[in-house]
Structure 1
């Protein structure tokens, strides 16, 4: 299964980005404020490996960058992801260090 072929959609009503893998929902929840997106939670079904979470978070970062928004990580997974892949520091809001 190529995770890059699976759509990531924004569910604005639920304030989350969603990816369906084998019928199961993986999501990144967020809040908006002051022109910034606060990523509050990454929720991926336990049966999936970390690859699903990685693919989802990376796609969310791409969407944030495309919209010229900045992001504040409030979720430990997102913070750890940026530490592991420092090229994504470009989407961090000014003054945020991980």
Structure 2
């Protein structure tokens, strides 16, 4: 059961995050003018297996799409998510093989 989570683009910490009462699952990024590199996804152990990581990546990709950025998925979790949800491949920098 995925609860409704609100994505926060924490530009100061350079990460997308869900601000939950006791935890802050997040995906770190490096942003250039027109590209965003998703470098690391972290979901606290207590929250694993609940779909939170996938929901976080989905909402982050929606934001990246809305901002018309080119995605460079350096995080293996992000690359796997895109492989499982091919519609997001259009965001990925051309020429990068994500598997």
Question: Quick check: TM above 0.5?
Answer: yes
Cα offset, 1:94, TM superposition:
2.1
> Runs of 5+ in structure 1 lacking a partner?
none
Structure 1 CA distance for aligned equivalents of residues 24 and 60 of structure 2? 15
Structure 2 CA distance for aligned equivalents of residues 63 and 47 of structure 1? 26
- Which 4+ runs in 1 deviate beyond 6 A? none
Structure 1 CA distance for aligned equivalents of residues 50 and 33 of structure 2? 31
Structure 2 CA distance for aligned equivalents of residues 91 and 57 of structure 1? 13
Quote the residue 2:28 is aligned against.
Answer: 29
Structure 2 CA distance for aligned equivalents of residues 96 and 46 of structure 1? 30
Q: Provide Cα deviations, 1:15-44, integer angstroms capped at 9, x if missing partner.
A: 001102342110010001251000000000
**Secondary structure of 2:63 counterpart:** helix
Quote the residue 2:66 is aligned against.
Answer: 66
Q: How many residues align?
A: 97
Quote the residue 1:39 is aligned against.
Answer: 38
Indicate the structure with greater strand content.
1
> Runs of 5+ in structure 2 lacking a partner?
none
